[in-house]
């Protein structure tokens, strides 16, 4: 039996990340090679013409799995019946802007999009927020879409997770597919904590801890962490544009693992609603190590946390609390 198509919303679909993401979804990279999709692409009125151009290209690409395309600037039309929502649209920080100004713009965007998803999305819609500040945008969306289960609202830290895998792979000259179980703790910002204490590499002698193979704690505790934290800025410097294809690819990884499950013995990083695990304050969207099964994620429990890690985990939680307070002050 052919599967029923899944409706996938991409907001900000005419932008750089959107342009990289929609062909990946249409090709089955996000939901599997046997899963038909109907794409809902949404953007602001200013981008309507460009959005229509993207729709034309999707039609021209003749993707076998793509069973329909909705291209719209209307939130109701964009959100109606969607099973997965990837929220790429947001207000970027511009030169000379204060953090509060950016936060205020994004709070109003995510408040209105939450209302549209709340009323019109399919029951049990899975939401992934990509636009920065991703963790706090996701928190605002959760606040204003109370009927969407809190476990269904997540933000993207898989890009940071994949960047960490990439750095270890390069350092050890091993395929990235042989590296697993790095963790991104906290905020998708420069305070995030990329943690390799539980990471492993597949070798001809079985799985070995990353620390044992790298044999350089100075690099792992220093340059490795700052490289991952500041990779986005390094790409902007090199490309004069922000990461698009890597962000789109990691958004596909995030949803695919969430829907189809993580491999046995492997965990990934997702920004999810904290339940107090690892003494992270509840009520924040914080990146944790998770495993996924049957369309549900669970935080990996019982990992030992050393003193250095604890400090870094608390620091990024502190920043998230400040962002939350700033966001709520914009609401009032």
Query: Within this chain, do residues 111 and 252 fall inside the same structural domain, yes or no?
Result: no
Q: How confident is the model at residue 331 (pLDDT cuts 50, 70, 90)?
A: confident
Report helix angle 307-331 to 99-120, nearest 10: 80
Span 104-120, pLDDT tens digits: 999 999 999 999 999 99
Q: How confident is the model at residue 96 (pLDDT cuts 50, 70, 90)?
A: confident
Q: Is the dihedral of CA 198, 202, 208, 214 positive or negative?
A: negative
Annotated binding site for NAD(+): 12-18, 43, 106, 130-132
Q: Which two tokens stand for residue 221?
A: 């505790």
Domain stops at, among 155, 189, 214: 155
Task: Give the count of alpha carbons within 13 A of 237, CB side only.
Answer: 5
User: Whole-angstrom Cα distance, residue 253 to residue 251?
Assistant: 5
Q: Which two tokens stand for residue 31?
A: 């939901």
Q: What are phi and psi of 133, to 5 degrees?
A: -75, 110
Query: Within this chain, do residues 16 and 49 fall inside the same structural domain, yes or no?
Result: yes
> What total number of domains does the chain contain?
2
Return the active site residues: 188
Query: Within this chain, do residues 87 and 197 fall inside the same structural domain, yes or no?
Result: no
Query: Within this chain, do residues 121 and 266 fall inside the same structural domain, yes or no?
Result: no
pTM: 0.97
Q: Which residues contact 282 (CB under 8 A, 6 or more apart)?
A: 274, 275, 276
Q: Convert 180-206 to b/e letters by CB count within 10 Å (16 or more is b).
A: bbbbbbbbbbebbbbbbbbbbbeeeee
Annotated binding site for substrate: 93, 99, 132, 163
Query: Closest Cα to residue 130, out of 45, 289, 27, 18?
Result: 18
Strand partners of residue 183: 195
What percent of the chain shows pLDDT beyond 90? 93
Annotated binding site: 12-18, 43, 93, 99, 106, 130-132, 163
Return the CATH number at 10.
3.40.50.720
Query: Within this chain, do residues 136 and 233 fall inside the same structural domain, yes or no?
Result: no
Residue 330 near residue 104, CB atoms below 8 Å: yes
User: Whole-angstrom Cα distance, residue 320 to residue 144?
Assistant: 19
**Residue at 1 is within a domain:** no
- Does 200 have pLDDT greater than 80? yes
Query: Within this chain, do residues 75 and 212 fall inside the same structural domain, yes or no?
Result: no
Radius of gyration in angstroms for the set of CA atoms belonging to the chain, rounded to a whole number: 19
What range defines the domain where residue 59 resides? 6-155
Query: Within this chain, do residues 78 and 206 fall inside the same structural domain, yes or no?
Result: no
């Amino acid at each position: 039996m052919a599967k029923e198509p899944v409706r996938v919303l991409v907001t900000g679909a005419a932008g750089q990340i959107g342009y990289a993401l929609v062909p990946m979804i249409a090709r089955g990279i996000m939901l599997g090679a046997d899963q038909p999709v109907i794409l809902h692409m949404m953007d602001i009125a200013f981008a309507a013409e460009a959005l229509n151009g993207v729709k034309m290209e999707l039609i021209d690409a003749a993707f076998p799995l793509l069973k329909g395309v909705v291209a719209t600037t209307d939130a109701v039309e964009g959100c109606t019946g969607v099973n997965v929502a990837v929220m790429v649209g947001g207000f970027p920080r511009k030169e000379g802007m204060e953090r509060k100004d950016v936060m205020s713009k994004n709070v109003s965007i995510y408040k209105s999009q939450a209302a549209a998803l709340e009323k019109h999305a399919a029951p049990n819609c899975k939401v992934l927020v990509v636009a920065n500040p991703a963790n706090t945008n996701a928190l605002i969306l959760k606040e204003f879409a109370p009927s969407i289960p809190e476990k269904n609202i997540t933000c993207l830290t898989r890009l940071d997770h994949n960047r960490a895998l990439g750095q270890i792979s390069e350092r050890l000259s091993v395929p990235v597919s042989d590296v697993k179980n790095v963790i991104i703790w906290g905020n998708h910002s420069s305070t995030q904590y990329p943690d390799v204490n539980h990471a492993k590499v597949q070798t001809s002698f079985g799985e070995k801890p990353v620390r044992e193979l790298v044999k350089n704690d100075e690099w792992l505790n220093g340059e490795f962490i700052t490289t991952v934290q500041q990779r986005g800025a390094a790409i902007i410097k090199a490309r004069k544009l922000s990461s698009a294809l890597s962000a789109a690819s990691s958004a596909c990884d995030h949803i695919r693992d969430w829907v189809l499950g993580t491999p046995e013995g492997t965990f990934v990083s997702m920004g999810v609603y904290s339940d107090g695990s690892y003494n992270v304050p509840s009520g924040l969207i914080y990146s944790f190590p998770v495993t996924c099964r049957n369309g549900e994620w669970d935080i990996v429990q019982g990992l030992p946390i050393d003193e250095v890690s604890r400090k870094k985990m608390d620091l990024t939680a502190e920043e998230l609390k400040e962002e939350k307070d700033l966001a709520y002050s914009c609401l009032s």
